[in-house]
Amino acid sequence: MSEEFKIEIVNPEKSFLVKEDVSEVVVPAFEGEMGILKDHISIISFLKPGIIKVSSKSGDENYYVEDGIVEFKNNNLSILTSSIYNLSDMDKSVQQDLLKKAEEEAGKSDINDQAKYLVDQKIEVLKTLN
């Protein structure tokens, strides 16, 4: 029996990625990393900044996301996100830009706790990329 399921990543502009044969996906869910395998229970969660790891027969792919929503149902995984980058063709300069923006935001004085937490996460992840 196959252990594969379908993943679809969409951003507002287009369908970013559609794959029928993924075996495991690790997403940076809000309350910690979450691995999803076939026949996972139906779940809705949202993402914090981090790396989505998609494993399939053709190899692993990594994507950097800043936010998003995950929905898993009937072996269909949908990820909605407004900012996603494929790590393999992500430019160093893009990373630097994002990092700079995040650091600027973290430096603001009127930032609330949750936003601060998210920005810190972002900075941490971006730093490990470089």
Partner 1 sequence: MASLDDLKKRIASVKSTQKITKAMKMVAAAKLRKAQESAEKGRPYSEKMNNVILNLSSGISDKENAPKLLAGTRQDKVHLCVVMTSDRGLCGGFNSNIIKKAKSYFSKILDENKELKIITVGSKGNDQLKRTYGDKIIENISFKESKNANYFDADKVGKIIIEKFEAGEFDVCTIFYNKFKNVITQIPQAQQIIPLNDEGNENSSDESYEFEPDEDEILSNLLPKNISTQIFKAMLENSASEQGSRMSAMDNATRNAGEMVDKLTIEYNRSRQAAITKELIEIISGAESL
Give the residues lining the site for partner 1 (CB under 8 A): 8, 10-15, 29-31, 34, 41-46, 69, 71, 73, 78, 80, 82
Shortest Cβ 8–partner 1 spacing (Å): 8
Say if strands 50-56 and 68-73 run parallel, antiparallel, or are unpaired. Answer: unpaired
Task: Give the integer Cα–Cα distance in Å for 37 and 75.
Answer: 9
Would you say 32 or 59 has its CB closer to partner 1?
32
**In angstroms, rounded to a whole number, what is the distance separating the alpha carbons of residues 34 and 47?**
10
CB–CB of 55/21 below 8 Å?
no
Residue 83 beta carbon to partner 1: minimum distance, rounded to whole angstroms: 9
Separation of first and last alpha carbons in the chain: 40
The distance of closest approach from Cβ of residue 101 to partner 1 in the complex, given in angstroms and rounded to an integer, is: 13
Nearer to partner 1, 13 or 113 (CB): 13
Tell the residue number behind the tokens 């969409």, with chain if given. 10
Measured on CA atoms in the order 44, 50, 56, 58, is the torsion positive or negative? positive
**Shortest distance (Å) from residue 59 CB to partner 1:** 25
Question: Which C-beta is closer to partner 1: that of 104 or that of 127?
Answer: 104
State whether residue 74 is helix, strand or coil.
Answer: coil
